[in-house]
């Protein structure tokens, strides 16, 4: 049991740590928020390309279906503080929100900096002590929690680990939370990059191409799965919403190759090709196919068959045409083995969820130790789900901590 004016230490001033701090602070406690950066919310500023897709407008089950790993862990805390509670919190604090395509919620100003400014103001108002440029090196518990920091040693009654994962390590999320969790005996599910581009083994001779409504399939050693939507195909990687979703779903298994169906709504592609070629029998095939396929893609596909783009349409053999049709429906590319965290939006993996109380975020191994945000083995797709995980877990921890104090 913790005594009056308890000291709460929170390591990490990302969305999870900040939200925990402003919700824990009351007249019964002192809250210290540590970050190795000079300001709060360094990664938060980058979210949604600087616009901050702060949460999703999807309703309960639909929302939870976008949590890829360990969504069951979120049920309890999400019932306490869900996406609509977050929108309400923002609106009460004079941040107007709007819902864009696919139910993505943004601040109306489209500025992540407005969210960071609000959090800075709340930290000041609530008198949370923010320790900027303060790196925590190690933590241990001997009665109280002892923290070794770049500004000296400090002791706390309650400790919240909100260090994030490993993605975009230059923002400060460099995996320290995992080290701290392990030092308390927690199990770590191997952190792997998620929501990152699919890197290609061989460079493609194309210009970057934005493609809509295509089907992209991933192959691992034992599974094939697919996504439909928009992608950006570049010489060295594939990104865009459908590619990111695909990578995230396969993040824990190795995707060895991917294949793209450029015309997923057309079954009898051979007949369509015949029509295009017959319409302009003397025209070079490279020109005949314009209007049906993007120019840069035509060249790549013809090279792959191989057919010269200058070959007259009426001289294309049946075999060449069939091969072209098959490439349009099933354009296969090998993917690179090594991907890193520098371009991953989130980390898949982290502190094992079965060792954390899903209602309170308290460690089941160490009393008064809490985990919030991306450091936990839970992650979602793009669309505001990962920030909401941070807010939901932080809020639940704050309720439980305040109840103790």
Ligand X SMILES: Cc1cc2nc3c(=O)[nH]c(=O)nc-3n(C[C@H](O)[C@H](O)[C@H](O)COP(=O)(O)OP(=O)(O)OC[C@H]3O[C@@H](n4cnc5c(N)ncnc54)[C@H](O)[C@@H]3O)c2cc1C
- Say whether 284 sits in a helix, a strand or coil: strand
Separation of alpha carbons 193 and 404, rounded Å: 36
Binding site for ligand X (CB under 6 A): 11-17, 34-37, 42-44, 46-48, 52-53, 135-136, 162-164, 167-168, 172-173, 176, 345-346, 373-374, 384-387, 390
Closest distance of CB 119 from ligand X, Å = 11
Separation of alpha carbons 215 and 328, rounded Å: 11
Separation of alpha carbons 15 and 199, rounded Å: 29
Residue (173 or 300) nearer to ligand X, CB: 173
Residue (118 or 387) nearer to ligand X, CB: 387
Written as six digits, the tokens of 241 are 């919403």
What are the residues whose beta carbons fall under 8 Å from the beta carbon of 179, sequence distance 6 or more? Answer: none
Torsion of CA 98, 101, 102, 105, to 10 degrees: -20
Residue (36 or 144) nearer to ligand X, CB: 36
Residue (177 or 229) nearer to ligand X, CB: 177
Closest distance of CB 14 from ligand X, Å = 2
Closest distance of CB 53 from ligand X, Å = 3
Question: CB-side exposure of 389: number of CA atoms within 13 Å?
Answer: 32
Closest distance of CB 359 from ligand X, Å = 19
Neighbours of 162 (CB within 10 A): 32
Separation of alpha carbons 22 and 14, rounded Å: 12
Closest distance of CB 42 from ligand X, Å = 5
Residue (131 or 297) nearer to ligand X, CB: 131
Closest distance of CB 68 from ligand X, Å = 12
Separation of alpha carbons 95 and 118, rounded Å: 8
Nearest-Å Rg of the Cα atoms of the chain is 25
């Amino acid at each position: 049991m913790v005594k009056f004016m308890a000291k709460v230490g929170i390591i990490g001033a990302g969305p999870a740590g900040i939200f925990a701090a402003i919700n824990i602070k009351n007249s019964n406690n002192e809250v210290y928020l540590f970050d190795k950066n000079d300001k709060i919310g360094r990664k938060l500023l980058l979210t949604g390309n600087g616009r901050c897709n702060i949460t999703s407008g999807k309703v309960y089950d639909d929302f939870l279906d976008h949590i890829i790993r360990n969504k069951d862990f979120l049920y309890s805390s999400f019932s306490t503080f869900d996406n609509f509670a977050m929108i309400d919190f923002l609106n009460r604090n004079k941040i107007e929100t709007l819902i864009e395509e696919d139910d993505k919620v943004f601040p109306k100003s489209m500025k992540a900096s407005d969210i960071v400014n609000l959090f800075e103001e709340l930290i000041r108002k609530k008198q949370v002590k923010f320790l900027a440029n303060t790196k925590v090196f190690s933590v241990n518990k001997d009665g109280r929690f002892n923290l070794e920091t770049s500004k000296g040693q400090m002791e706390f009654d309650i400790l919240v680990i909100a260090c994030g994962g490993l993605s975009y390590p230059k923002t400060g999320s460099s995996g320290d939370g995992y080290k701290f969790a392990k030092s308390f005996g927690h199990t770590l599910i191997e952190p792997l990059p998620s929501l990152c581009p699919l890197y290609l083994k061989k460079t493609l001779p194309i210009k970057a191409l934005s493609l809509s409504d295509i089907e992209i399939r991933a192959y691992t050693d034992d599974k094939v799965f697919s996504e439909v939507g928009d992608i950006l195909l570049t010489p060295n990687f594939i990104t865009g919403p459908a590619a990111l979703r695909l990578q995230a779903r396969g993040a824990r298994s190795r995707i060895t190759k991917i294949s793209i169906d450029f015309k997923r709504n057309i079954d009898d592609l051979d007949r369509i090709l015949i029509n295009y070629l017959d319409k302009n029998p003397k025209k070079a095939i490279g020109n005949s196919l314009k209007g049906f396929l993007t120019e840069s893609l035509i060249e790549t596909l013809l090279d792959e068959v191989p057919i010269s783009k200058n070959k007259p349409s009426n001289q294309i053999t049946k075999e060449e045409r069939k091969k072209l049709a098959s490439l349009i429906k099933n354009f296969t590319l090998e993917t690179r083995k090594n991907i890193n965290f520098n371009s991953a939006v989130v980390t898949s993996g982290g502190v094992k969820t079965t060792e954390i109380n899903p209602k309170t975020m308290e460690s089941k191994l160490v009393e008064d130790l809490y985990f919030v945000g991306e450091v936990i083995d839970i992650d979602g797709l793009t669309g505001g789900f990962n920030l909401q995980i941070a807010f939901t877990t932080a809020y639940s921890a704050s309720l439980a901590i305040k109840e103790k104090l």
